[in-house]
Amino acid sequence: MNSIQHIRTRLAVTQSVLAEAIGVSQANVSNYERGQTVPPDVARRLIVFSAARGVALTFNDVYGPVDVVVTPGTLVARPGRRHTDESPALSGSSLARLAAGPSS
């Protein structure tokens, strides 16, 4: 079950009810449940709708966790991976230095 379907199940609503609440078609909800990316404005409306029904959500709940991978010259975010004790956390300044690559 993907995150949108899981959220909809937690809210105990049909695709049609959810679609009307977040301002999209039922077909859009079906597509989101099958893996189509949810636009940020739709995700925001889903978070607000869920809160009104007593279910607190974040963008991570909608999109899944994101793991940041840094190599010299690049900064890539990969959805679906969580930080663990074995993977060191990096501060913003550390990420910027790593993304910039080796200093001359």
Q: What is the largest CA-CA distance in the chain?
A: 58
Q: What is the pLDDT of residues 76-102, one digit of tens each?
A: 555 554 444 344 444 455 545 545 555
- Distance, in Å, from the CA atom of 13 to the CA atom of 19, rounded to the nearest integer, reads 10
Task: Name the domain count of the chain.
Answer: 2
pTM: 0.64
- Quick one: 96 and 53 in the same domain? no
- Quick one: 25 and 53 in the same domain? yes
DSSP helix/strand/coil, 65: coil
| Range from 16-20, 61-65, 72-76 that averages highest in pLDDT | 16-20
CATH label of the domain that carries residue 41? 1.10.260
- Quick one: 21 and 55 in the same domain? yes
Mean pLDDT in residue range 10-33: 97
- Quick one: 40 and 71 in the same domain? no
- Distance, in Å, from the CA atom of 88 to the CA atom of 104, rounded to the nearest integer, reads 26
